[in-house]
Structure 1
C-alpha cells in the first residue's frame, strides 16, 4: 500500500505538470486537489500503527492545504475564494507550527537569536515590497506573512535535531514553502511572470513532499529511539 500511494502521487504530479505544459486547465483543475491528498495517503500509510502526538498536526496541515488548493481554484472568479484559500493555508501553517514547536520541546532544542533576525529581515523586505500593491488585502497578507515566517523560524530551530537528515529535509521544505508563497504573492499583487505558475507549483510540491518525508522520518526515528530506551 505504501508503494501504491507513492506511485499514485508520482502519477498525479506528472499528469498535473503535463496539464500545465499543455495549458490544459480542465486537467489541472481536476488534479490539483489530488496532489496533496496523495501525500496525505503516503503519510497515513507510512505511519500506520505508530502512536505519535505529532501525527494529528501533520494530517491537519495536509487537510487544510488540500482545502486551500481547492479554494484557490475559484479565486479568479471571486476574490472571496482567495481570502478563504489564504485562511485555509494559514491554518495549515499553524498546524505545522504546532508540530514543529512540540518537536522542539520534545527534543529540548533551543532557539538561536540570529535565526529570528534572518526571518525578520525576509518578512520586512517582502512586505515592504508588497504593501503598496495589496489594497484591501493588506491586513490578511501581513498576518499570513507573519504566520509563515514563524513556521520558517521554527523549522530553522529544528536544524539542531540530532538526526541531521531529518533536520535538513524539514528546513528545505519550509524554505521552499516560503519561496512558493513569495512568488505567488509577487505574481498576484505586483506583476505576473510567464514562469510564475511553474515556479509556484514546483516549489510548493517540493515543499510539501519534503515536509512529509522529513516528518515521517522523524516519527519513525522517534519510535525506534523510544523502543531502544525501554529495552533493559
Structure 2
C-alpha cells in the first residue's frame, strides 16, 4: 500500500473517532497521523541524498512528541507546556529548513510579508494576553516562533517551482490557523467546533508541508 494511502486511512479513522466520540480510537491514532507522514517522507525520498532530510525528520519527530504530550494536557498543565516545547522545537527545524531553501535560491522575500505577520502576531497575542495567566511567556515565545515560521514560508512563495511554494505556504498558514484556534479554544472560550477546526487544519498543514518538502527534495537535491 502506498504511504499516502496509509496516512489517508489513519486520518479517516481518527476523524471517525472524533465524530462518534471514541476516545480510544483518537488516543491510538492521533500519534500515528504525523508518524505516517514521517514514513511517507522517508520512503518517498529514500533515493535522494539531501542535507535537509535530517532536519525535516526532526521536525516531524518533535511534532509526534507534541501530539502525544498534548493528549495528556487535561490531566496536568505540565503536559501542555511540554507539548508546546515539542512543537516549538519542531517549528525551529521547519524554520531552519525553509531558511536553507531560501538561502540556496537567494530569495530576498517581500518586505510587506513581515508587516502582515507582525500584525497577525500583535492582534492574536493582545487578544489572548488577559487570559494566559501563568502561561503568558511560553505562549508569547511560541507565538513568535510560529510567526517567524510563517514569515519564512511566505518568502518561499518566490520559488520557481510554484507548486512546491504553494504547498509550503498553505501548510504554514494552516499551521498558524490551527494553533490560533487551539489557543483561543483553551484560553478564551472553548467552542463545540473547536476540536474539529484545530485538527482539520493541523492535519492538512502537516500533509502540505511534508508534500511540499518531499517534492522539493526529489526535484532539487541540497
Q: Which residue of 2 aligns with 1:69?
A: 67
Q: Which residue of 1 aligns with 2:134?
A: 136
- Structure 1 Cα separation of the partners of residues 45 and 6 of structure 2: 18
Q: Distance in 2 between matches of 1:194 and 1:40?
A: 30
Residue of 20, 23, 43 corresponding to 2:21? 23
> Structure 1: how far apart are the matches of 2:146 and 2:187?
18
Q: Gaps spanning 5+ residues in structure 2: where?
A: none
Unaligned runs of 5+ in 1: 227-232
Query: Which of the two has higher C-alpha Rg?
Result: 1
Q: Say what the alpha-carbon RMSD is for the aligned residues.
A: 0.9
Q: Distance in 2 between matches of 1:57 and 1:152?
A: 17
- Deviations along 1:88-117, one digit per CA (max 9) or x if unpaired, are 000000000000000000111112210000
- The 2-side partners of 1:6 and 1:149 are apart by 28
Count of aligned pairs: 222
Q: CA deviation at 1:221?
A: 1.3
* Runs of 4+ residues over 6 Å off in structure 1: none
Post-superposition Cα deviations, 1:39-78, rounded to whole Å, max 9, x if no partner, equal 0000000000211111111101100000000000100000
Q: 2:121 aligns with which of 105, 123, 137?
A: 123
Partner of 2:156: 158
1:175 maps to 2:149: no
Cα shift readout 1:155-196 (whole Å, capped 9, x = no counterpart): 000000000111011000000000000000000000011000
Q: Which has the higher contact order (CA 8 A, sep 6+)?
A: 2
The alignment partner of 1:49 has SS state of coil
After TM superposition, the score normalised by the length of structure 2 is 0.98
